[in-house]
Amino acid sequence: MNTVKKIISILIIMLMIFAMAGCQTTDDNVPETPEVPEVPEEPTGEKSEMNADVIVVGAGGAGMSAALEAAQSGSSVIVLEKLGIIGGNAIGAASYNAADYDLQKNYELHESERAEIERFIELEPENDLMKEWQLQLKNEFDEYNKNGSTYLFDSPSLHKIQTYVAGDYLGKPELVDTLCENALENLKWLEGLGANWTNQISAIIGATWPRTHTPTLDWGMAGSSFVLPQAKKFEELGGELFLGYKAEELILDGERVIGVRGSTDKGEAFEIKANKGVILASGGFAANVEMRQKYNKHWANLDSSIGTTNMPGATGDGITMAESVGANLVGMEWIQLVVGSRITPSITNSIYVNTEGNRVVKEDGRRDEICNAILSQPGSYVYAIYDSHTVQDLLGGKAYDGKDIESMIDGKEYVKGETVEELAKNLDIPADTLQATIDKFNDAVDNGNDEFGRSVFQYRLDKGPFYAVYQTPNVHHTMGGVEINEKAEVLGTNGNVIDGLYACGEVAGGLHGTNRIGGNAIADIVTFGRIAGKSAAQK
């Protein structure tokens, strides 16, 4: 590829990241703008043949974590990305779940949260591993109470139980154990590469517990911290990244996967052999309407009238390729919808109200429960109500993509009122009903006795100005995919490992069961991305 095209490709990446951020962070300690990995020269001819120890399909958070781990293990690595940019869905995310005492000790444990911990301890265990988690949690919580502690309790054992229970016990327990046990370590790994975090802990929609970490805007929009630190280090180690390269077929030698075939966005065929293994990190299928309609069993409709939060590259390519070589697919019917806001994905200090000004669901519940409740409302939408405790005190007036929240107010999707009465007027909903709804919620914050059974609280909604954000469900995450084990090795329909094939991130199924906890996806892609990279490199 000539120099001019190379420069254009790099500019596209940088413009996407920083234009979406919308503003420059004011942190005095902001590092220099990180360099985005260059696009290697394109091969010439009708068919290009290349070779590397490890091939990674997909340049999102899972793919770049896998690629960096493999490269740090001394393997030569080629990353293939069908889009003209790196990042995948991760670059638009803003939340990472991990039990983290250093931050959580700054928050108080509500009585409703205490009751939730006790409930999880008393649940009937589904298997020996869950029983082990419960015993560990009981011992930890007994010690916490013995010491007279009042800070926000958390631990990997609680994270494991909540993840497993939220997925209706259909997640593979061994994968759940691996994720939650290593989540904090892998957050620190990102930190060691240059990612930074705010000093706040929150609970995003569907998180069920305040353990969500949010990146600063040092690397651009928040989700850049889940991809660019790995990409920068990968480039420094001599890794190769090919943009506009779509993998279409896995190459077999007998029953072993030895490479991939595909085509570039210029229509040129390529074939790349892998000495050690191929890692699929190509994401789910939320952007593939035909595929989600094929597997959907639980939603009334997932056709093109239902939008998606995903990047256009989330079309299930890796799942299809893996299935063609005998991979077992699990949980494909479990497709998650979500509502969200650019102001913040956190639900800690917000409520959902319908067009009549009434709450409709417990905001800290499961995503499927929340979306079903919203879809049953007039117009199938609600408004998320925030006050200045969140918008000003916690966020400093910045959305998680870096944009000034005040500049987003348009009177339609983003609405503001100096008082509750003014907000209600601007929303064209009854002011007395909205005020009564907020008063009742504030009473629940004080007393923990919420009419919907909510247990996660922080601040009352009582500090103006007040804000409302239009919310409607979109297809967000596909829990099903290629079955893997704890080493990220792909399993065939016969239950055996498919030699030379690995998978990580949303392309893999079996971790989240029927329902993914909000904030677990980034912990998932980094944790199992690293595992996949190590496993392939050690082959």
Q: What is the mean pLDDT of residues 39-66?
A: 80
Per-residue confidence at 47, pLDDT binned at 50, 70, 90?
A: low
CB 210 within 8 A of CB 108: no
Residues 56 and 137 in one domain: no
Q: Of 447, 472, 497, which residue constitutes the final position of a domain? A: 472
Residue 149 Cα to chain centre, angstroms: 31
- Exposure b/e, 115-149, CB count within 10 A at least 16 = b: ebbeebbeeeeeeebbeebbebbbebbeebeeeee
The Cα angle at residue 232 between residues 229 and 238, in degrees rounded to 5: 140
Residues 350 and 468 in one domain: yes
Q: State yes or no: pLDDT of 1 exceeds 70.
A: no
Q: Does 51 reside within a domain?
A: yes
- CA dist 206 and 223 (Å) reads 18
Give the total number of structural domains in the chain.
3
101: which residues sit within 8 A by CB, 6+ positions away?
Answer: 154
Q: Among 227-236, 281-290, 361-370, 496-505, where is mean pLDDT lowest?
A: 361-370
The kind and range of the H/E element at 295 are helix 289-295
Q: Closest Cα partner for 385 from 419, 432, 410?
A: 419
- CA dist 36 and 229 (Å) reads 10
Q: What is the mean pLDDT of residues 108-124?
A: 96
Residue showing tokens 């969140």: 390
The half-sphere exposure of 21 on its side-chain side, counting CA atoms within 13 A, is 22
Q: Does 210 reside within a domain?
A: no
Residues 188 and 284 in one domain: no
Q: Of 139, 161, 196, which residue constitutes the final position of a domain? A: 196
**Digit-coded pLDDT (tens) for 346-405:** 777 899 999 999 999 999 988 899 999 999 999 999 999 999 998 998 888 988 777 899
The Cα angle at residue 246 between residues 328 and 496, in degrees rounded to 5: 20
Residues 123 and 138 in one domain: yes
142: which residues sit within 8 A by CB, 6+ positions away?
Answer: none
Residues 348 and 444 in one domain: yes
CB 395 within 8 A of CB 401: no
Task: Return the pLDDT at 35.
Answer: 45
Q: State yes or no: pLDDT of 76 exceeds 70.
A: yes
| CA distances, 418 to each of 144, 358, 464 (Å) | 42, 20, 6
Catalytic residue among 211, 359, 366, 367: 367
Residues 357 and 400 in one domain: yes
Can the peptide bond before residue 465 be classed as cis, meaning omega within 30 degrees of 0? yes
321 versus 31: which is more confidently predicted?
321
Q: Closest Cα partner for 337 from 362, 373, 378, 313?
A: 373
Q: State yes or no: pLDDT of 498 exceeds 70.
A: yes
Residues 382 and 431 in one domain: yes
448: which residues sit within 8 A by CB, 6+ positions away?
Answer: 110, 111, 112, 455, 457
- Exposure b/e, 405-426, CB count within 10 A at least 16 = b: beebbeeeebbbbeebebbbeb
Q: Does 16 reside within a domain?
A: yes
Task: Return the pLDDT at 345.
Answer: 66
Q: Would you mind telling me the total number of residues written for the chain in this entry?
A: 539
| CA distances, 82 to each of 58, 314, 347 (Å) | 7, 11, 34
What's the predicted TM-score (pTM) here? Answer: 0.85
Q: Closest Cα partner for 528 from 81, 132, 177, 156?
A: 177
Residue showing tokens 């990042």: 87
What letter would DSSP give residue 327? Answer: B
Residues 227 and 91 in one domain: yes
436 versus 207: which is more confidently predicted?
436
CB 478 within 8 A of CB 331: no
Q: Does 212 reside within a domain?
A: no
CB 266 within 8 A of CB 42: yes
Concerning whether 359 is annotated as a catalytic residue, the answer is no
For the chain, what is the mean pLDDT? 90
Residues 310 and 363 in one domain: no
- Burial grade of 65 (CB within 10 A; 0-12, 13-18, 19 or more): buried
- CA dist 294 and 147 (Å) reads 54
The kind and range of the H/E element at 64 are helix 61-72
Q: What is the mean pLDDT of residues 313-323?
A: 98
Task: Return the pLDDT at 433.
Answer: 98
Q: Closest Cα partner for 522 from 129, 109, 303, 229?
A: 229
Residues 143 and 114 in one domain: yes
What letter would DSSP give residue 515? Answer: -
Residues 347 and 437 in one domain: yes
Please write down the HEC assignment for all residues of 297-326.
Answer: CCCCCCCCCCCECCCCCCCCHHHHHHHHCC
Task: Return the pLDDT at 394.
Answer: 83
Q: Does 332 reside within a domain?
A: no
Q: Does 334 reside within a domain?
A: no
CB 230 within 8 A of CB 224: no
CB 81 within 8 A of CB 67: no
Q: Looking at residue 38, which CATH number applies to its domain?
A: 3.50.50.60
H helices present in 387-519, as ranges: 388, 405-408, 420-427, 431-447
Maximal CA-CA distance, the chain:
72
Q: Does 532 reside within a domain?
A: yes
Q: Does 488 reside within a domain?
A: no
Residues 467 and 522 in one domain: no
State the CB neighbour count (10 A cutoff) for residue 324: 11
- CA dist 488 and 291 (Å) reads 24
Task: Return the pLDDT at 37.
Answer: 44
Q: Name the token pair of 266.
A: 């210029």
- CA dist 383 and 428 (Å) reads 12
Q: Looking at residue 423, which CATH number applies to its domain?
A: 3.90.700.10
Q: What is the mean pLDDT of residues 407-431?
A: 96
Print the domain residue range for 131. Answer: 101-196
- Burial grade of 24 (CB within 10 A; 0-12, 13-18, 19 or more): exposed
